[in-house]
Amino acid sequence: MKKIHFIVAIIVLFSINSCSVYNFTGTGKIDAKTFQVNYFQNNAEIVQPGIERTFTLRLQDLIQNQTNLNLISSGGDLLYEGEIVDFRITPMTATADIKAAQNRVTIAVNLRYSNKNKDTDDFEKRYSFFYDYPATSQLIGRELDNALEEIFERITQDIFNDTLAKW
C-alpha cells in the first residue's frame, strides 16, 4: 500500500513540476516580462493605405493573447520593429484566351527582433506570405480584408514561433 502512495506522490510531483515548463501556447519559459512592438512603416513600392497599422496591431494582439507578457510603449524586454517591404499583385494562372484567371497578392515584412535579457536571441529576418483570389475580383473591400487576414495571420504566427516558441 505504501508503494502505491509513493508512486502516486511521484506522479503528482512530476505533473505539478512540468506545468511550469510548458504551457498550451508552446512558448515554454520566457525570460522576459514586457514586450514592445514599434510601428511597422510601409516602405513597399506599392502602398496599400492602412496595412502598416493593421499589421502592427495584429502582432501586438497575438503576443498579448498567447503569452502573459505586458505590452509597453518603450523599454520592453523584447523589441519587435521593422517595416513592410513588399506589397505585390501578380497574375498566377491564365485562361485559354490569355487572360489572368487568378491573381496573387504577396506581402513581405522585415523584422528586427531583440531580447534585452538574452542578446544571442537577436536577429533580423524577412517574412512573406500570399493570398490567391480570382482575377474577376478587385482587391478591395471584403476581398482585401480576407487577404490581409490570411497573410497577417501567417506572418505574425511565424514571427511568434521564431521569437517566443523557438520552433
Judge whether 107 and 151 are in contact, CB under 8 Å.
yes
pLDDT in the model for residue 2: 61
Question: Could you tell me whether strands 100-115 and 123-134 are parallel, antiparallel, or unpaired per DSSP bridges?
Answer: antiparallel
Q: 71 in helix, strand or coil?
A: strand
- pLDDT tens-digit profile of 24-49? 444 556 789 999 999 999 999 998 99
Regions of the chain where pLDDT drops below 50 = 13, 16-26
pTM here is 0.80
Domains present along the chain, CATH in parentheses: 32-165 (3.30.160.150)
How much is the pLDDT for 103? 93
What does the alpha-carbon distance between residue 2 and residue 20 come to, in Å, rounded to a whole number?
Answer: 28
Q: Quick one: CA dihedral 73, 42, 153, 19, positive or negative?
A: negative
* 22 CB neighbour count, 10 Å cutoff: 11
Q: How far apart are alpha carbons 161 and 54 in whole angstroms?
A: 20
Question: What b/e sequence results for 60-78 when a residue is b if at least 16 CB atoms lie within 10 Å of its CB, and e otherwise?
Answer: bebbeebbebeeeeeebbb
**Strand boundaries in the chain, DSSP class E:** 34-37, 41-42, 70-71, 78-94, 100-115, 123-134
Distances (CA, A) of 59 to 9, 11, 161, 163: 42, 38, 12, 12
For residue 12, what pLDDT is reported? 52
Per-residue pLDDT at 8 = 54
How far apart (Å, rounded) are the C-alpha atoms in residues 61 and 35? 12
pLDDT of 4:
62
What local confidence, expressed as pLDDT, does residue 53 receive? 97
pLDDT for residue 38: 98
